[in-house]
């Protein structure tokens, strides 16, 4: 557990399924264009589905907790499974509650996720995707050294409009210095 200005970051366990579900449903509902999954899809999943997600040995989910031990932010690491892709990991499902946004919690979650990926052993690269219009997330990822390597046009369709996804990557190494 890591304490930063009253915020504790720790890995979520299956027992956290209920609070994790509540937090993510709020994220899908408040920021419908930030995620590929929709509130409607994910609201049908009951707590046991979310707990299984937290139990999945091929992923790791970090939670940020406030001083009252309420879950206020989260991010996931999802390992690639094929033999030739096991040097890579995906960062996904990043969300910080609106009331706590802009206080450095998102940054801390990404830093901790990178540190966790380093500890796994064998991981060399972290990938992520982000909606091309999600400026807060793009700035955050840029600040921690992620670089864009591609764009998927019309990656998601929401009603009658489309969203492009940007693909970003960075080496996991703490020594990595991104090009300017």
24 binds ligand COA (CB under 6 A): no
Provide the minimum distance between the beta carbon of 143 and ligand COA in the complex, in angstroms, as a whole number.
Answer: 5
d(CA 34, CA 159): 15
Q: Given the complex with ligand COA, which of 50 and 141 has the nearer CB atom?
A: 141
Q: Out of 2, 135, 173, 176, point to the residue binding ligand COA (CB under 6 A).
A: 135
Q: Out of 6, 43, 58, 102, point to the residue binding ligand COA (CB under 6 A).
A: 102
Provide the minimum distance between the beta carbon of 84 and ligand COA in the complex, in angstroms, as a whole number.
Answer: 26
Q: Which of 127, 13, 108 is nearest to 60 (CA)?
A: 13
Classified as helix, coil or strand, 160 is coil
Q: Out of 95, 113, 170, 172, point to the residue binding ligand COA (CB under 6 A).
A: 95
d(CA 46, CA 87): 32
136 binds ligand COA (CB under 6 A): yes
> How many other C-beta atoms can be found within 10 angstroms of the C-beta atom of residue 28?
19
Which residues, 6+ apart, have CB-to-CB distance to 113 below 8 Å?
62, 75, 77, 91, 126
139 binds ligand COA (CB under 6 A): yes
Classified as helix, coil or strand, 152 is strand
Provide the minimum distance between the beta carbon of 102 and ligand COA in the complex, in angstroms, as a whole number.
Answer: 5
d(CA 176, CA 117): 14
169 binds ligand COA (CB under 6 A): no
Q: Write out the residues near ligand COA by the rule CB under 6 A.
A: 27, 31, 34, 94-96, 101-107, 130, 134-137, 139-140, 143
């Amino acid at each position: 557990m890591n304490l930063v200005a009253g915020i504790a970051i720790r890995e979520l366990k299956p027992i956290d399924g209920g609070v994790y579900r509540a937090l993510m449903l709020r994220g899908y509902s408040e920021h419908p264009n930030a995620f590929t999954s929709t509130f409607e899809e994910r609201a049908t999943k009951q707590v046991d589905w979310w707990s299984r997600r937290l139990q999945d040995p091929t992923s790791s989910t970090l939670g940020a907790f406030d001083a009252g031990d309420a879950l206020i932010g989260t991010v996931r690491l999802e390992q690639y499974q094929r033999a030739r892709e096991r040097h890579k990991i995906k960062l996904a499902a990043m969300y910080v509650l609106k009331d706590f946004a802009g206080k450095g919690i998102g940054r801390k979650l990404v830093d901790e996720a990178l540190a966790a990926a380093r500890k796994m052993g064998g991981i060399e690269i972290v990938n992520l995707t982000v909606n091309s219009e999600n400026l807060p997330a793009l700035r955050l990822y840029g600040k921690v050294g992620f670089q864009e390597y591609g764009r998927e046009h019309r990656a998601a369709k929401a009603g009658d409009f489309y969203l492009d996804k940007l693909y970003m990557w960075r080496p996991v190494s703490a020594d990595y210095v991104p090009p300017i």
